[in-house]
Each structure stands twice: as C-alpha cells, then as structure tokens.
Structure 1
Amino acid sequence: MNQRSFRVVAATGCALLLAALAPVSTAMANASSTVGRVAAPLADAVRFPWFGGPVVVAHRGASQVAPENTLAAVDAAERQGFEWVENDVQRTRDGQLVVMHDATLARTTNVEQLYPDRSPWRVRDFTAAEIARLDAGSWYGKRFARERVPTLKEFLRRMEDRDLRLLLEIKNPQQYPGIESRIVRELAGAGWLDRSHVRRRLVVQSFSANSVRTVHNLVPQVRTGFLGNPPVNSLASYARYVDQINPQLSKVNAQYVSAVHRLHGAHGDRLEVFAWDVPPRNYHRIAAAYGLDGVIV
C-alpha cells in the first residue's frame, strides 16, 4: 500500500467495509435515487483491491473541493487518495493545448470582465497567452484566486510530480481538426508514451468515435475509451479500437455492462466499463450492482 492510500484507509476503512457488504438490491435503489444529486466531499474515493472495488477517477480533478481542471484540483486529488484523474483538453487559436471542459471560458474564468468585447468567449478564439491571464479559481472560492487555466504540458508535469494516472478526454474534437496528433506529440514530449505510462497510467477517451479511432491509429499502444453507450449490436465494432466503453450511469444497467464484458477490446483484454455521473457516497455499492470496472466521480 502506498502512503497516499494509507492516509485514506485510516479515516475511511470502516465506512467502506460496511458499504462493500451492503446488499445489491440496496445499491440499485441508491443508484436510481441519487444520480444527479450534488455530491459530498470525496474522502472515501480510492480503490481498495482487496474489496474487489472499482477504479475511482477524480472527475476534472478533485472538483468537489477545488476548481475543476486546475492544478489545485490535481493536488487535491492526490491529497484525497485518488490514483486516477480525468481532464478535458481543447486547443487555442494559436494551436496550444489547454485543460478546459466547456467550449467557452465564461463559466469558470473571469473572461467576461477581462475581455468584455469577445463574446461568446470560445476557447478556440483566444491565444494561449490570453487564456493564461485569466483567473480560473475565484468563481469557486477566494482562496483559489491565483489559479490559472493550465496548459496540457503543465497539467502532465503536475500529474507526474504527484504520481497520478490520467484519463484524458479530447473535448469537442470536431472544432479542432488534427487535435489528436497534437495531443499525441504533447504526450510524447512529456514522456507519457513510454511503456510504463501506456500500460498503467494513461487512457485517452472522447465522445467522438472518429477521434478515438484516430488516436488508436496514431498510437496503437495507448488504451482508449469511448464516452457513451453504443447499442449492444454495435459494440463489436467499437471493440476493434477501444478498451473501454464509458457511459453515463443513468443510460445503462447491469445487463448492458455484462454485454460489454463479453467482448475483448483493442489490446485483447476484456472491455471495461467506467461510468460517469456516479454519486460519490454510494460509488462502491453502485459499482457492485452494475458490475462496473471504474467510476468517474
């Protein structure tokens, strides 16, 4: 057990043991009644293999306690015991990669105050230098006022420093032709395409099947995931180039997850299912009820 996991075990082991032993029927009830509810702090969000638990991924970093997709959210994920972090990557007007979820900068930065005449404030309409001036933390709390929108390079460096694993989402790839090759170059330059990283520390995903297929063709060694829930009779075609099917929890059931598990993915292993919009407090019971391999919370 690493030091990070040990800190979490001391505080939460008993609670998780009770959750792991809860009946599956209770888990199903909790799943249907809590999806979409505002989550509580994620002190228990960590994988415990001896419980047969799922991989737990910090959605946009530890976004329950720090502004999403910032370096502060990476640091908070490490402190809370996460091993995996999910982020979103988009491209600036001058071709740089930044970590941002929305297509526009308005919700999570002060772009409207700094650039009032640049509506609708789309990421693709600003240079990396312009975005670097933005405050990406004050909307979440005054103590985060110095947070900035990180570049992918900065984000990868912080992930490496914290010894974390990355579930990287290519956001809005239809707006950024060629973004996949740019991301691959950035990953390679940061050392994230060596054997160690591609085997255990990196998955690239997208809602765009074409984008995921492009990544697989560019770097076949990298594990990939499709965000969504393709029809069961289409799953075999996805399995040719993905290793994961990652749906919204409310769109699937245990039978769908079983259908995914019957197939083998691009690297010969059983297809995995990482669901998102999973309530943090009930993630372990929900994962057991659905048969999930991972949860994005």
Structure 2
Amino acid sequence: MRAGRKLTVERYVDGTWSTVAETSAKGASAALTVAAARFPAWYRVRAAAHNGIASVATAPVRTTLNRRPVEIAHRAGAALGPEQTLGAMEASLTAGATAMEVDVQLTKDAVPVIVHDQTFARTTNVATVFPGREDDPVGTFTWAEVQQLDAGSWAGPQWAGEGIPSLDELLTALGGRAHLVLEVKFWPFNQGTPEERAALRDVLDAELVAGRLGELAGAGKLTVSSFNHEFLQPFAEAHPDVPVGALTFFPPSATQVAQWATWAEEIHGQFALTTWQDTTAARAAGLTTSVWTLATPDQYRVALASGAEALITDNPGLLASVLEPPAPTS
C-alpha cells in the first residue's frame, strides 16, 4: 500500500464504529497501538478509496490489557443493593468482587458503624423511627438507636429490614472473603474535630490490636483510606504494615506525590480527572492508583485509559463486559 494513502483507525463500541484517528499507512500502526493500549475494544483499519481502488477495511481485531485492574465495590456495591449493607456486600461477592470499600463513623457511644452520609436521612427510615432527628449527625445516635433503623427499604421492598452494620458485624459477615478498603469518614468537609479524629483513631487502634480488623490486616486484606490526611498520615506512621490510600479529588502535584510517598502506598483519585500521566508519575514514586467512582461502561473506559491499578465501582462485575465486548455485527 502506498505510504501516503489515507487510513482511518476505527473502534467498535456499543454497536457503533467511530473514528479514533485519521492517518497514513505509514502512521497507522503507531496510531492503532496508542489507541488500543489504553482502551480495550474491537478495532479495524479502513483505507479510503484511492486512485480507483475501492475502500477496504481489515477484519476486526479485539484488543485487551496486559494487566487486569482490580474492581473495588464502592459502598459495598451501591448499584447492586442498598449501599453499605450486608446485602449489598453479598450481592457484590456474588458478582465476583474481590474487594470492598465502605465508610466508617462513630456513634455517640463510640461504636464504629458503616455509613457514608453525615445523617441517616437519605438511606434509612430515621424520620419515621425518630421524628425530628432526621437531620441530626450520625454521632448523636447511640448504637442501640442505630440498630432500630431500616437501611434497605428505600432501595426496594426486597431489601426491607437490612440494617446498618457495625464494623464488627461487617467483618464477621465478610469473613476474609475479600479485601477491605475502609474509608475513615469525617463531617463536615472530611475534617471533623481533633476530638472526633482522636476517638476514631483510638477505636481503630484497638480493633487492629485485638479485633477482627487486626485479623484482616494480618492476612494482608486491609487498606485504610481518607480525605483527611491529618488523620491518615499519623495512622500510617503508627501502622506501617497497613497500606493506606490518600483520597483526593484533584490530581496531586509532583510535590504532593513525593510527600505522600513517604507515608502512603496508594492514591485514590477521581476517575475523570486522573490521566495516564498521573498514574505513571504515581508509579514512578512507588505508589499505586485507585480511581472512583464508576457505574457505567463509558466510565470504565475512561478509567481504564488512565492506567489505574484499581477501579472503585458501584457496579462490580461490569469490567468483564468492557474488556470482552461482543464482536461487531457490521
């Protein structure tokens, strides 16, 4: 083929061919390599009509990744069941998840419970059980009161009666079947007071010494993460055998990456803002990258293009359909 003939690299996704790059025969191999390396799909190269020669396309070829990212079930699998519940966790395990992400906060009587929001209003029947307290923070409720809440009915009648688990209940039910990413949550704005940070630190320290959390850590199946790095760095320095993930919304600067690498093992970044260059820089500093939060095939594809080692997803099990898409029909 003449080197100057125009070629189009095309990708097949969700039943449609789209153009990835327009190039010459000389540059087609490089263009296809760059596209396919970061985006597993079906590809073909089409040559335009040229000097009376009809347009022609190669047979479609499916590419894949040389390393399969880990799927981490966000909030125990928020698309598969009521978030942060044992029911969602079991649904995620059934879907093949090998890692779980959940949030931990303390009740008024210092019981660590698995809940994301500052209040119980969105995910429980607190307005019915405790009228007038629906806007009260999680930390104003005792564990006995939390146990009266239904955290499943809002997601569908089949989930009625799902409760908010304590950390110990979740660890017992998990039984070491998956890696746990435990996000330490503070409100408002992920800050908390010094007293709140100290209280949660005391509980986690005790759990690591004599609780099921320590058993999970000893098996190499625990990561602790937080947006609150004032909490996370001292925790990491006190527990060097427990990997920690520095949660961030915006990609860190080179200075931040170098500083985080002195105490963290992972960066947990927002998927749409994390680039190939970001993950490469993190890897060069000795860190891995997990990106949050995915729910759709398109979001998976964006995340895969970043080269992240792990994908924090509401919909665990979706990765297979993205990595192994059906063959083109046209």
When normalised by structure 1's length, the TM-score is 0.77
Q: Trace 1:6-85 onto structure 2 (pairs within 5 A).
A: 23-24=36-37, 51-85=66-100
Partners of 1:185 and 1:79 in 2: CA distance: 31
Counterpart AA for 2:164 = V
Verify the 8 A CA contact 2:98 2:179 in the aligned structure 1. yes
Partners of 1:86 and 1:107 in 2: CA distance: 19
1:132 aligns with 2:154: no
**75-84 vs 223-232, which deviates more?**
223-232
| Residue 276 (structure 1) aligned to one of 289, 292, 304 | 292
Counterpart AA for 2:143 = A
SS state at 2:153 partner:
coil
Distance 1:50 1:187, change over 3 A: farther
Unaligned runs of 5+ in 1: 1-14, 16-20, 29-48, 265-270
Q: How far does residue 217 in structure 1 lie from its aligned partner after superposition?
A: 2.5
* Structure whose residues are more often strand by fraction: 2
What RMSD over aligned residues (CA atoms) do the two structures have, in Å? 2.5
Q: Which residue in the other structure is 2:182 paired with?
A: 168
Verify the 8 A CA contact 2:118 2:138 in the aligned structure 1. yes
* Residues 93-117 of structure 1: CA deviation (Å, up to 9, x unaligned): 1111100000111000011111112
Higher-Rg member (1/2): 2
Verify the 8 A CA contact 2:294 2:312 in the aligned structure 1. yes
**197-206 vs 57-66, which deviates more?**
197-206
Distance 1:95 1:139, change over 3 A: same
Q: How far does residue 185 in structure 1 lie from its aligned partner after superposition?
A: 1.6
* Residues 109-167 of structure 1: CA deviation (Å, up to 9, x unaligned): 01111111224221011101101100000000111111001000001111116x11100
Identity across the alignment (%):
31
Partners of 2:276 and 2:110 in 1: CA distance: 42
Partners of 2:181 and 2:171 in 1: CA distance: 11
Partners of 2:156 and 2:84 in 1: CA distance: 15
Verify the 8 A CA contact 2:271 2:302 in the aligned structure 1. no
Q: Trace 1:119-158 onto structure 2 (pairs within 5 A).
A: 119-158=134-173
When normalised by structure 2's length, the TM-score is 0.70
* Residues 55-108 of structure 1: CA deviation (Å, up to 9, x unaligned): 110001121120000010111111111000000000011111100000111000
Partners of 1:254 and 1:279 in 2: CA distance: 20
| Residue 216 (structure 1) aligned to one of 230, 236, 250 | 236
Q: Which residue in the other structure is 1:189 paired with?
A: 210
Counterpart AA for 2:309 = D
Q: Which consecutive segments of 4 or more residues in structure 1 shift more than 2 A? A: 21-28, 186-194, 196-200, 278-288
Unaligned runs of 5+ in 2: 1-13, 15-32, 42-63, 314-330
Partners of 1:278 and 1:232 in 2: CA distance: 26
Verify the 8 A CA contact 2:113 2:166 in the aligned structure 1. yes
Paired positions, count? 250
